[in-house]
């Protein structure tokens, strides 16, 4: 039996004596006597990064930053080094670019500190030896796929090298309370190149992704904070700039002609995020009309179209339907349903819709409640929306606000918007 996949056979080179090293002494400690909370955190100088880390960088933490080539991983960590250097020495091991290249980039980014120590080295033994001598507070490895352990014969970037180098770095971080950040490349399919064990070893996995002009930093795993936290950046000629108001950023280019466009008051990682949903409905000449959904689960779209056909008699089974979440965002919240419905009906009836929306739709057309109702309404109000449509059960606990709140319990109650 085979796995039916190419390139899944990896060379494994075992070290002469593989022995397990424990990170902590194995003495028994009563739970009540353990760990002092809160963790000691250092501000990185980048607010959006601190937010994703859970409020700053925890001493002795071991963090992986993953992302496709050219997305800005080295830029982010170099900018972060600038901020961290005010709190301690930073050893930046650049094995992918020369120290000259890195220094030039730092100059462009206006980063200058004698506490950032560049080291162009690929041997993990040499990097760790240097780190033991210099005793920096922070170590950055750019990247984990380009460093190697000389005891292993396999090439850098292979499974055994990545795993062993990562293991050594983890022991170093934990035994010396040094924060270690490693950069990891992702494959074309979007997963981290290297063994899954890498993700298990680290305390936090941050992913950096994005479209042409913006970047989103997310925590996929975080032992010191909430996951699903996100930060938004813009890549400019001065490096990565933080976007403190992502809602404004994502609605900035909303056209004047609002037909087929509805605003969703979303929440990502507990933070409100308003974004635009666009829909286009066209009479189809295909036996099986097209359904294209970018940023929203296509099965969710199928469900919504079926509910619409049932309660609004819209002949979408004979229409091509396209949905796009503007800005290349991806959302998994079911609260998006009501905004998708409004964008679809707006396109079908050629009528613009002005309010913003949130609410999940059930198969019987009922509108179900969503978490963070108050935060969503506040954000819509802050951005100057005059009206928000929301599920009935989200009305509770809403303080009187300037924004008009329209409560709906069934999708048919939307019909007056399009008549």
Tokens 């056209």: give the residue.
255
Stretch that binds Mg ion, among 73-81, 275-283, 340-348, 406-414 (CB under 5 A): 73-81
Task: Identify which of residues 82 and 272 has a Cβ nearer to ligand TYD in the complex.
Answer: 82
Contact 210, 76 (CB under 8 A): no
Stretch that binds ligand TYD, among 152-160, 233-241, 254-262, 283-291 (CB under 6 A): 233-241
Task: Identify which of residues 2 and 69 has a Cβ nearer to Mg ion in the complex.
Answer: 69
From Mg ion, ligand TYD, none, interface partner of 301 (C-beta below 5 to 8 A by class): none
From ligand TYD, Mg ion, none, interface partner of 2 (C-beta below 5 to 8 A by class): none
How far is 97 from 329, CA to CA, in rounded Å? 31
Binding string, residues 88-107; x marks residues near ligand TYD by CB under 6 A: -----------------x--
Neighbours of 375 (CB within 10 A): 14
Nearest distance from residue 96's CB to Mg ion, in Å? 6
Neighbours of 402 (CB within 10 A): 8
How far is 316 from 58, CA to CA, in rounded Å? 52
Tokens 């009305």: give the residue.
395
Applying CB under 6 A, the site for ligand TYD has a residue count of: 15
Q: Which of residues 240-279 bind ligand TYD (CB under 6 A)?
A: none
Three-state secondary-structure class, residue 353: coil
Residue 235 binds ligand TYD (CB under 6 A)? yes
Residue 74 binds Mg ion (CB under 5 A)? yes
Nearest to 186 by CA among 167, 166, 206, 171: 206
Helix (H) or strand (E) holding 77: helix 73-84
Burial 182-211 (b: 16+ CB within 10 A, else e): bbbbbeeeeebbbbeebbebbbbbbbbbbe
Return the residue of 237, 256, 363, 384 that touches ligand TYD, per CB under 6 A: 237
Residue 330 is given by DSSP the state -
Nearest distance from residue 395's CB to ligand TYD, in Å? 45
Task: Identify which of residues 92 and 372 has a Cβ nearer to Mg ion in the complex.
Answer: 92
Nearest distance from residue 92's CB to ligand TYD, in Å? 12
Residue 88 burial (CB < 10 Å; 0-12/13-18/19+)? middle
Binding string, residues 69-88; x marks residues near ligand TYD by CB under 6 A: xxxxxxx-------------
Residue 95 binds Mg ion (CB under 5 A)? no
Contact 82, 45 (CB under 8 A): yes
Residue 67 binds ligand TYD (CB under 6 A)? yes
Tokens (6 digits) for 77: 């960590």
Residue 393 is given by DSSP the state G
User: 261-268 and 271-283 as β-strands: parallel, antiparallel, unpaired?
Assistant: antiparallel
From ligand TYD, Mg ion, none, interface partner of 108 (C-beta below 5 to 8 A by class): ligand TYD
How far is 132 from 116, CA to CA, in rounded Å? 16
From Mg ion, ligand TYD, none, interface partner of 130 (C-beta below 5 to 8 A by class): none
Residue number of the CB atom closest to Mg ion:
74
How far is 331 from 228, CA to CA, in rounded Å? 11
Task: Identify which of residues 102 and 179 has a Cβ nearer to ligand TYD in the complex.
Answer: 102
Nearest distance from residue 126's CB to ligand TYD, in Å? 22
Task: Identify which of residues 27 and 237 has a Cβ nearer to ligand TYD in the complex.
Answer: 237
- Binding residues for ligand TYD, rule: CB under 6 A, are 67, 69-75, 105, 108-109, 235, 237-239
- Binding residues for Mg ion, rule: CB under 5 A, are 74
């Amino acid at each position: 039996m085979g796995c039916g996949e190419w390139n899944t056979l990896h060379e494994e080179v075992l070290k002469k004596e593989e022995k397990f090293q424990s990170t902590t002494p194995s003495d028994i400690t009563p739970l009540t006597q353990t760990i002092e909370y809160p963790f000691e955190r250092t501000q990185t100088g980048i607010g959006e990064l601190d937010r994703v880390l859970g409020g700053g960088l925890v001493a002795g933490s071991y963090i992986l930053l993953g992302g496709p080539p050219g997305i800005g991983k080295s830029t982010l960590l170099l900018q972060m080094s600038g901020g961290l250097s005010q709190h301690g020495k930073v050893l930046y091991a650049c094995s992918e670019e020369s120290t000259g290249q890195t220094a030039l980039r730092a100059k462009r980014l206006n980063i200058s500190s004698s506490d950032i120590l560049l080291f162009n080295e690929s041997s993990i033994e040499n990097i760790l030896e240097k780190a033991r001598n210099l005793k920096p507070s922070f170590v950055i490895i750019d990247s984990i796929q380009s460093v190697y352990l000389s005891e292993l014969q396999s090439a850098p970037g292979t499974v055994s090298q990545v795993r062993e180098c990562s293991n050594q770095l983890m022991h170093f971080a934990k035994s010396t309370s040094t924060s270690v950040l490693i950069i990891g490349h992702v494959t074309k399919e979007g997963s981290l190149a290297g063994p899954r064990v890498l993700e298990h070893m680290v305390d936090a996995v941050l992913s950096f992704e994005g479209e042409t002009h913006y970047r989103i930093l997310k925590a996929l795993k975080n032992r010191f904070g909430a996951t699903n936290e996100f930060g938004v950046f813009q890549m400019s000629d001065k490096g990565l700039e933080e976007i403190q108001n992502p809602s404004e950023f994502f609605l900035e280019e909303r056209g004047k002609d609002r037909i087929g466009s509805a605003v969703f008051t979303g929440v990502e990682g507990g933070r409100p995020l308003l974004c635009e949903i666009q829909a286009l409905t066209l009479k189809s000449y295909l036996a099986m009309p097209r359904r294209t959904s970018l940023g929203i689960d296509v099965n969710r779209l199928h469900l919504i179209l079926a509910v619409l056909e049932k309660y609004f008699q819209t002949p979408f089974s004979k229409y091509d339907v396209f949905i796009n979440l503007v800005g290349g965002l991806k959302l998994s919240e079911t609260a998006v349903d009501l905004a998708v419905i409004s964008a679809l009906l707006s396109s079908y009836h050629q009528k613009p819709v002005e309010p913003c929306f949130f609410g999940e739709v059930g198969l019987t057309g009922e509108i179900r409640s969503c978490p963070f109702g108050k935060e969503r309404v506040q954000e819509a109000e802050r951005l100057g929306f005059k009206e928000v449509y929301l599920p009935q059960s989200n009305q509770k606990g809403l303080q009187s606000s300037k924004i008009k709140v329209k409560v709906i319990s069934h999708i048919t109650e939307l019909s007056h918007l399009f008549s």
